[in-house]
Amino acid sequence: MNRNLLLLTGANGRTGRAILKAMVDQQLPVRAFIRDSRQAEELEQLGASECVSGDMTDPGSIAAAMKGVSKVLHIGPPMHPEELPITQSFIKAARTEGVDHFIYYSVMHPLRRDVRHHRLKLDAEEALIESGLPYTILQPSRYMQHLVPIWKNVTEDGVHAMPFDVTKKFNVVDLNDLAAACAVVASSDDHLYATYELAGPEALSQEDMAATISDVIGREVTAQAVPLDKVAEKARAAGADADRIEQMLVMNKHYDEYGFRGNPNILQYLIGRPACHFRAYVTQLASTP
């Protein structure tokens, strides 16, 4: 067993790629677990030491991917109904292999049981805590990167449109800060048996975000709440299945009512600097070609 090799699951997703880059910056050797072997070349160019392809719902491919690693950072498929059995399969393979550290990428406020993917992550956290494995649980808030897919509309139409109340507050967080925190946790045994809430430094409403974007780009941007039926229609047109659409609606309805507030202290403690503020993120995004 390579006492430093880390298995990173979900490595080809937006979150996985950011974490891979941060791990490489810390000179951590990473085995990237991917679904499609055609993704391997690009991830190796990003710095993955090696890539293995497999299916997260197949315990056999999980067991094969786990061979020879000492650490795991598991990112489950977004809103997957099998989050718990998938995580249990990774836990079982990690125990068989004698893994030293299992890092689970969960969600902030998993106790929000009315939202299924929060509830399933809470169940997965419980399974990990009771597994006997040395673990760390990371609980990220909503990303600032929600802006990327709507940025063109924001800048061209002057509308920041999201599917919840424009006055509800969110401690949005920069994914790059989250990735840096993951690399810190994976680099040391100091974080064993910890559960870390990872939120951004400001509680912002969609109106607050729109005002900041207006200042940065020099044109008026207004906040708009997108009706849930429009959300479903767009997701359906993009090919999302019925279960995914239903869970998106449940989540957005919950956030519409309660927002998503958290505390930034732990994130800033981990990365050893102030966390990125929304204005800084928007300024960087606006300057990107």
- The confidence score (pLDDT) of residue 4 equals 84
Q: Please report, for the chain, the start and end positions of each structural domain, with discontinuous segments joined by +.
A: 6-140
Q: Which residues pair with 74 in a beta bridge?
A: 104
pLDDT of 241-262, one tens digit each? 999 999 999 999 999 999 999 9
- The confidence score (pLDDT) of residue 160 equals 96
Tokens of 154: 């924001």
pLDDT of 36-47, one tens digit each? 999 999 999 999
Name the phi and psi angles at 158, rounded to 5. Answer: 70, 30
Provide the H-helix boundaries in the chain. 14-25, 40-46, 59-66, 83-97, 116-129, 151-157, 175-186, 206-217, 228-237, 242-258, 265-271, 278-287
Tokens of 231: 């959300």
- The confidence score (pLDDT) of residue 289 equals 80
- The confidence score (pLDDT) of residue 72 equals 98
Which one-letter amino acid corresponds to residue 18? A
HSE at residue 63, side-chain half, CA atoms within 13 A, is 5
Q: Which of 162, 75, 82, 168 is nearest to 117 (CA)?
A: 82
CB-based contact 60:215 (threshold 8 Å): no
CB-based contact 18:179 (threshold 8 Å): yes
Residues of the chain with pLDDT under 70: 1-3
CATH 3.40.50.720 fits 6-140, yes or no: yes
Evaluated on CA atoms 85, 30, 264, 288, the torsion sign reads: negative
